[in-house]
């Protein structure tokens, strides 16, 4: 049977903080599922992490940890490509050319830039400003068709499309216009302690997040304390019942049950039963991933070998795009 050309997926995740349940449901788990239907490139976005000050040793460690999590979650580096952003110089090379084709005004309008500038007023650096250009380069350098991203990145995907469209208009057809891929279920997992905020391990309240390394008792305890509301009705309503709805999303992810199934299952029962069920489903689902993660992380040379191979394969694809772009914009190329 002739192999049909599959669409190409690219996505990235920053190696900031210890991997959480939010990273797993919101991104990594979906990435693993997409491998059946697409050619995938998955990257640890360490260069993007530099836009916020990082402790060097910690960034290095987190980068390897994130790679180990991807492998533990089932990313298959033999059939797909997994690598670290900074290991493929083509991203930065393309990023410069794209930056020269991106307007100050459009970058100024990015809501994440505005939010992060407000959050770190002492470090509003150039990288924070050009962050979406590097992200556009990550995507366009591989001519990715689809880009799985969280809600908070849709504006960056939009600008990547704008940059690609503009470039194609000026220099002739060069880039594929990427589409966003927002999965139905795991769009965004919220903090267990403050369900209005995204789950993040930088949360000051440790009960707000579940780490991929948490043991079962810790997971049970954190879910038991999860903030809900006072009406004791398990019903999906993100606006009125953000805490309960977040727990329902988590439960639905791991059991495959619909929101209606879950509402029926817990009708007439209190939140105690519900939280326990969510906690157990989560602990059971995470147990094998957590074990794999520990096993893989202990084998540093395996992880590094995967990353080395991944970077070489990614670079072969990316270098071709950069050469084409350099030629199109008029950079002198010498014969080899």
User: Which residues contact ligand TRP (rule: CB under 6 A)?
Assistant: 10-14, 45, 48, 135, 138-139, 147, 149, 153
Token pair recorded at residue 79 = 């059939």
Token pair recorded at residue 305 = 């070998």
Q: Which is nearer to ligand TRP, 84 or 279 (CB)?
A: 84
Integer Cα distance of 23 and 289 in angstroms: 13
Please, which residues have CB within 8 angstroms of residue 83's CB and are 6 or more apart in sequence? 41, 42, 43, 44, 307, 310, 311, 313, 314
198, 241, 275, 290: the active-site residue: 198
Check residue 87 and report its DSSP letter: G
201, 241, 275, 290: the active-site residue: 201
Q: Which is nearer to ligand TRP, 43 or 211 (CB)?
A: 43
CB of 41 to ligand TRP, least distance (A): 9
CB of 67 to ligand TRP, least distance (A): 15
Q: Which is nearer to ligand TRP, 167 or 251 (CB)?
A: 167
Cα angle 49, 31, 156; round to 5: 45
| Cα–Cα distance list, 6 to 34, 38, 118, 304 (Å) | 12, 6, 42, 28
Q: Which is nearer to ligand TRP, 45 or 210 (CB)?
A: 45
Residue 39 Rama label (left phi>0; alpha psi -120 to 50; beta)? beta
Q: Which is nearer to ligand TRP, 52 or 329 (CB)?
A: 52
Integer Cα distance of 27 and 13 in angstroms: 8
CB of 173 to ligand TRP, least distance (A): 22
Integer Cα distance of 84 and 45 in angstroms: 6
7, 114, 116, 119: the active-site residue: 116
CB of 195 to ligand TRP, least distance (A): 20
CB of 48 to ligand TRP, least distance (A): 5
116 a catalytic residue = yes
- Supply the DSSP string of 137-161, one letter for each residue: HHHHTTT-SEEE--GGGHHHHHHHH
Residue nearest to ligand TRP (CB): 12
CB atoms within 10 A of CB 260: 9
328 a catalytic residue = no
Q: Which residues have a catalytic role annotated? A: 116, 198, 201
């Amino acid at each position: 049977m002739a192999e049909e050309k599959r669409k190409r997926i690219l996505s990235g995740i920053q190696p900031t903080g210890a991997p959480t349940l939010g990273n797993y449901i919101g991104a990594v788990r979906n990435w693993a599922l997409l491998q059946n239907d697409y050619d995938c490139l998955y990257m640890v976005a360490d260069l993007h992490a530099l836009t916020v000050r990082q402790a060097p040793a910690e960034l290095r460690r987190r980068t390897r940890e994130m790679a180990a999590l991807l492998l533990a979650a089932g990313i298959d580096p033999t059939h797909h490509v997994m690598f670290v952003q900074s290991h493929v110089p083509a991203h930065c090379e393309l990023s410069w050319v794209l930056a020269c084709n991106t307007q100050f005004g459009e970058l100024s309008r990015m809501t994440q830039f505005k939010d992060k500038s407000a959050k770190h007023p002492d470090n509003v650096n150039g990288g924070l400003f050009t962050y979406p250009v590097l992200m556009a380069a990550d995507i366009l350098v591989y001519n990715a068709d689809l880009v799985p991203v969280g809600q908070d990145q849709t504006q960056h995907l939009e600008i990547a499309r704008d940059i690609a469209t503009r470039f194609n208009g000026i220099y002739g057809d060069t880039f594929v216009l990427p589409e966003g891929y927002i999965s139905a279920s795991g769009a965004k997992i919220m903090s267990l302690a403050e369900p209005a905020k995204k789950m993040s391990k930088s949360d000051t309240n440790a009960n707000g997040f579940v780490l991929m390394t948490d043991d079962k008792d810790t997971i049970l305890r954190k879910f038991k304390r999860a903030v809900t509301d006072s009406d004791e009705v398990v019903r999906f309503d993100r606006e009125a019942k953000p805490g309960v709805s977040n727990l329902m999303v988590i439960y639905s992810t791991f059991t495959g049950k619909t929101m209606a199934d879950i509402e029926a299952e817990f009708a007439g029962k209190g939140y105690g039963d519900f939280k326990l069920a969510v906690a157990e489903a989560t602990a059971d689902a995470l147990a094998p991933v957590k074990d794999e993660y520990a096993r893989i992380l202990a084998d540093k040379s395996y992880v590094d070998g995967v990353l080395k191979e991944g970077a070489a394969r990614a670079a072969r694809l990316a270098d071709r795009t950069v050469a084409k772009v350099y030629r199109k914009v008029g950079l002198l190329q010498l014969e080899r």
